[in-house]
Chains A and B, each alone.
Chain A
Amino acid sequence: MSGASRHGLLAELRERIDRVGRPEAGLGRVHALDGGGPLDRALPGGALPRAALHEVVAAAPTQAGAAAGFAASLLGRIAAGEEAGAVLWIAALEGEVGLPYPPGLAVFGLDPTRLLLLRVGAAEDALWAAEEAARSRALAAVLVETRRLDPLAGRRLQLAAEAGACAILALVVPRRAGEGAGHRAGFSLFEVSGLPGADFRVSAWRVAFSCRGGPGALWPRIEWCHATHRFGVAAELRDRSDRARTAAAGA
C-alpha cells in the first residue's frame, strides 16, 4: 500500500470513529477558512467542525489585541457559514483591552448587527454564560474571553458545543507569556502573536496550530485582508507547511 492511499484510509477511518463517539460532530457544518488553501489542508477533513471548542491563545499578555483580531476573523468565518443567528461575544477583559467596538468589527468579516455583547466581571460567570449560550441552540457562535482555560473548564465547553451544535471560541489571554497553550481541551488551538503589517489594511499573525486528529502546523505569517475578508498564507510558507504535512503523513 502506498503512503498516500494509506493516509487517505486512515483519515477516513478517523472521521468514522469521530462520528461514532460524537453524533453531533458528524452533522455539524464545516467552514472553509481559506477556500482549500494551506489552512484548510491542515485541518482533518479539510474544514473546521462547527460543534466544537476552538481556542485562540495570545502568545503573551501584550498580544491580546492581535489575538482578538484573529479570533474575530475566525468568528466571522464561522458566522458567515450560518445564514442567520446572533453571535454572542462574552467580554471579560474590558479593563485590559477595552470592549469590542462594533464599527471596527466589519473589517474582520463579522456583521456588527448580529452581535450580542455580554459584559462579565468574574471568570466563572464568563464560562457559565458560554456553556449556557452554546446549549441554548439560539446562536450561530459564541466567543468567550478568559484569562485561563483549565482542562476541566475546556472539556465542559467542548461538551456544551457538541450538545448545542454551536461553535465556541475561547479567546485566552494569559497572565504570563506562553502560559495559555499548554493543554488543548477543545478540537483546535491557535497560539497567536501579532506581526507588523505591510499597512493598516492588512493584519498579520504568527500562528502555531494544533488540532485533534491532525498533525498541526506552524504558520510564520498568516495575513487577513480587510478589504477582501480572506486569509492568506505567504507563498514560500505554503510550500513549507505542505512539506511538513507530507512528512508527517508518511511517517
Chain B
Amino acid sequence: MWLPSFATDRIERERRPPAPEPRATLLAIGNRRLLAAVNAVAAREGLRPGLALADARALVPELVVAPATPDEDARALARLAAWCGRFSPWTAPEGEDGLFLDITGCAHLFGGEAALRADLLARLGALGFAARAAIAATPGAAWALARQGDGGDIARQGDGGDIARQGGGEGDLAGLPVTALRLPDALAADLIRLGLATVGAVEAVPRPALVRRFGPLLVRRLDQIFGRLDEPIAPLAPVAPLRVRQAFAEPIAAPEQIAAVARDLIETLCARLAAEEKGLRRLALVFFRVDGTRLEASVATARPLRDSRRLTRLIGERLATLDPGFGIDLALAEARRAEPLGAAQPALLCSTTAASDDALADLVDRLAVRCGPDAVLRLGPRESHVPERAVGRIAPLAAAPAFPPGPTRPLRLFARPEPVSALGDGPDTAPEALTWRQTLLRLRRAEGPERIAPEWWRDAEGAPARDYWRVEDEAGRRFWLYREAPGRWFLQGVFA
C-alpha cells in the first residue's frame, strides 16, 4: 500500500480545514528550502517534492506549508500500521510512505481480496489518507503495482491500485519501469541511461553482468519481485498465535456492550484453546475505534487458564478504563501467550486441594491486575552471602526450596542500605551512637562483627568487604549495621 501524501495528510487530518487546500511540508537543506511532500491538491497544481519553496509559491500562491517532521511521520506511520492490524496481524511500515500487509489467509473474512482492498481504502479515505493499494503474490510486486500501476489518478476512495493476476503476473511486471524495483534514485537513473528502462529489460540481461556492474541489490530486488527470493513481512509486535475477531455493523460504545463483546470473544477463544489443550498466560483485547485509534487491554495470569468466566472478570477492570470515543467497530481477542494446559499441573505453593489451587491462582492474578504485575512477590534462596543477593524472585505459585540454615538475619531489609554517621567506633568495635534519619540513637548492646565478602566475580571493580553488627539502642530497637571502610557505616535492616 502506498500513501503518496502521508506527511501532509497527517497534518491536514489534525487541523480539519473546511475545504481542500494545497499543502506541503518543507525541508531545509543548507539555506535552500525544498518541498518534502505535497498533497493531492498541490500535486494537481504541478507541485512535486524537491521543488524550491520560492518556485512553488510562484506556481501556487495559496500553498500552505509546515516544517517536515520525519520522526513524527515515522511514528504516525507505525501507528497506522498497528491500526491495519484489523485486517491482518502481519503489518509493517515500509519506507517513509508505505505499508505492507500480509493478507494470506485473512481475505475470506472480508469477502475476498478485492473486497478487503476496497474496505481498506474506504476506511483510510474516511480517515483522511489518500492511498493506493495493490495485492500481489510478493511484497516487491505489490510495492511496484501500488506506485506504478495504471490506476489512473490517485483516488481518495477505493478505486486506486491493482490486483496482480494470481500466480505471479510476470507479464504485467515485466512492463513496469525500473523505478518500480525499490532502488535508490541514482541506480534507477543509471539503468535508464543505459537503456534498461523496464523490469523486463533488466531481467533479460545475464545476471553475472548485472551483479558486476550494479552490485547485489538490483539482483536481489529482481528475485524479490518475481518471488524467487522470500521476503517475509516483519510485524511491529509479535503476532499472537491465536486470535478471534468480531466486527460490528453499528459502532458500539456503551460499557455493557463492550463487556458483552469481551465475554463473547473470550468464550470463543477459550473454546479454540480447549481444542488445542492450551491455556492462556497473556490475554489481550484490542478495540478499533471509528476514528482510527487502537485501544488495548491486556492481563497476565500466574498459570495457564482457559476459564472464560475468570478471564472475563480479570480483564473487566481494565476494560472500564478504555475510552470508546465515538464508538468501536471491530474487536479482537488475542492469546498473546498460550501454554499447554493438560493433566500435568505445576506443583503449587503448599496447597492441599485442587479447589484451593484454583482460588490461589485466581487471587494472585487479581492482585496483579490491581497492584501491578511485579507487586506479587515470592522470594526464594539464592547462592550468595551478600544479604540483598541471598534472596531472589521466584514464580508466585512455584513450590519454593527451603532457605538453608545460616547466621541470624534481620526481620526486614531496606532495598538500599542507608548511610548513617557513627560516633565512637573503633577498628574492632561497634559505634556508641549513630545518627539515622536525623535521629540520634544511643546504642547499649552490640554483637559482631560478621564479615561478608562480596563475590569477586560479580563486582569487577572490587567492592569492599562488609563487617556486619547487630546493635540495640536504649529504647530496645535493634538494627543491622555494616561498616564498609573505616568511618563508613550503613544501616541495612531492622530486627525485632
Do B475 and A62 have beta carbons less than 8 Å apart?
Answer: yes
A/B pair count, beta carbons within 8 Å: 168
CA distance A119 to B415 in the complex (A): 13
- Which A residues are in CB contact (< 8 Å) with B494? 64-65, 68, 97-98
Interface centre among A103, A115, A118, A194 (most CB of B within 10 A): A103
Contact with B along A93-134 (1 / 0, CB 8 A): 010011111111111100011111111100001001100110
3 nearest CB pairs, A to B? A69-B496, A138-B359, A65-B494
Number of interface residues of B (CB under 8 A): 53
B414 an interface residue at 8 Å Cβ cutoff?
yes
B126 an interface residue at 8 Å Cβ cutoff?
no
A137 an interface residue at 8 Å Cβ cutoff?
yes
- Measured CB to CB, the nearest residue on chain B to A135 is B363
Do B371 and A118 have beta carbons less than 8 Å apart?
Answer: yes
CA distance A116 to B302 in the complex (A): 13
Contact with B along A177-218 (1 / 0, CB 8 A): 000000000000000011111001101100000000000000
A139 to chain B, nearest CB (A): 7
B476 an interface residue at 8 Å Cβ cutoff?
yes
CA distance A62 to B470 in the complex (A): 18
CA distance A195 to B415 in the complex (A): 26
Do A200 and B349 have beta carbons less than 8 Å apart?
Answer: no
Assess A99 versus B411: contact at CB under 8 Å? Given A116-B377, A129-B370.
no
Contact with A along B268-304 (1 / 0, CB 8 A): 0000000000000000000000000000000000000
Do A103 and B356 have beta carbons less than 8 Å apart?
Answer: no
- Measured CB to CB, the nearest residue on chain B to A107 is B408
CA distance A128 to B352 in the complex (A): 26
Do A200 and B371 have beta carbons less than 8 Å apart?
Answer: no
- Which B residues are in CB contact (< 8 Å) with A114? 349-350
Do A101 and B412 have beta carbons less than 8 Å apart?
Answer: yes
23 A-B residue pairs with CB within 8 Å: A69-B495, A83-B352, A98-B494, A101-B411, A101-B413, A103-B406, A104-B495, A112-B403, A113-B380, A113-B402, A117-B378, A118-B371, A118-B375, A118-B376, A120-B371, A132-B367, A133-B367, A138-B360, A194-B477, A196-B445, A200-B408, A203-B495, A204-B476
Taking a contact as CB atoms closer than 8 A, the residue among A62, A72, A118 that contacts B411 in the complex is A72
B132 to chain A, nearest CB (A): 51
Do A65 and B496 have beta carbons less than 8 Å apart?
Answer: yes
B340 an interface residue at 8 Å Cβ cutoff?
no
- Measured CB to CB, the nearest residue on chain A to B350 is A84
A81 an interface residue at 8 Å Cβ cutoff?
no
